[in-house]
Amino acid sequence: MKPVYLESAQNGYLAQTITVLDQVLEQCCLCPRMCGVNRKNGETGICQTGNNAIVASFAPHFGEEPCISGRRGSGTIFFSGCSLMCSFCQNYDISHTTDGHEAEPGHIASIMLHLKDQGCHNINFVTPTHVLPQILEGLAIAVENGLDIPLVYNTSGFERVEILQHLEGIIDIYMPDFKFWNPEHAKDTCDAPEYPERVKKAVIEMHRQVGDLLTDETGIALSGLLVRHLVMPDNFSGTPQVLKFLKEKVSPATHVNVMSQYRPMGEVYNHAVINRPLSVDEFRASVDLTRDLGLNLVR
């Protein structure tokens, strides 16, 4: 099974999409923040990123889901800056800063090809939303030089469907977070009360494009949707509602990673609810519910 972007590169759709999204940077509305700044001229909005993407790090990653990391690792590229800016982010030093190195499209392409040469199963774009045009420009160069492994869109889920629609036929695997069900909790920690509605629409659109997760005979993901849900103390993330939504509105066969690694980080030490780690019982209850609903639990 060939990655879908190869056909899009051949038939001209990838080049067309690059042109469209590059123009968006002139009055940036890539994400729901709709900052409207001219990033082509170096202006910055919430994501703190101008015309060039900023790469914090890249390497084969062996700590992702088994179907993503496999035995040879997932070729992760961590981009600095973020459009959501969660106060509890576990990559706080990357997402809330611009630490890293500016990377022009040719550099991004060379990183992709280097990760492929390392034997990685895929190219995993971590926090890609605010640098989509730059990533796709790099992709076009990489394809010309032999890139042919799946692309993973590893996102907070804070997306505009209007932008995601341009990615049909380009992204193989969508791996969004579904962080909150309650708008007040999203406002409290991300200043984004619209997050729940945005992520619902985004996940539905992602599934429309790529369907349920498909793996090869060794269990490595080739295409499809894999949703991550970080379970938080006192049901702050709305786990039951999130899981039921995935079953009823997305697909009963949705693959979900119910994650246990929440711990206070960033700016939440004084928060009244989430200033403590998740308990074992809270996590077990979430795992049991996922199984009871018949969703595909990814561990």
Would you place residue 165 in the very low, low, confident or very high pLDDT band (cuts 50, 70, 90)? very high
pLDDT in tens, 71-99: 999 999 999 999 999 988 887 777 878 88
Chain position carrying tokens 């630490």: 99
C-alpha to C-alpha distance for 81 and 249, rounded to whole angstroms: 31
pLDDT in tens, 118-134: 999 999 999 999 999 99
**pLDDT above 80: residue 233:** yes
- Cα three-residue angle 84-32-274, rounded to 5 degrees: 30
CA-closest candidate to residue 156, choices 79, 223, 44:
79
Q: How many angstroms from the chain centroid is the CA of residue 136?
A: 15
Find out if CATH 3.40.50.720 is the number for domain 5-297: no
- Look at residue 281 and give its three-state secondary structure: helix
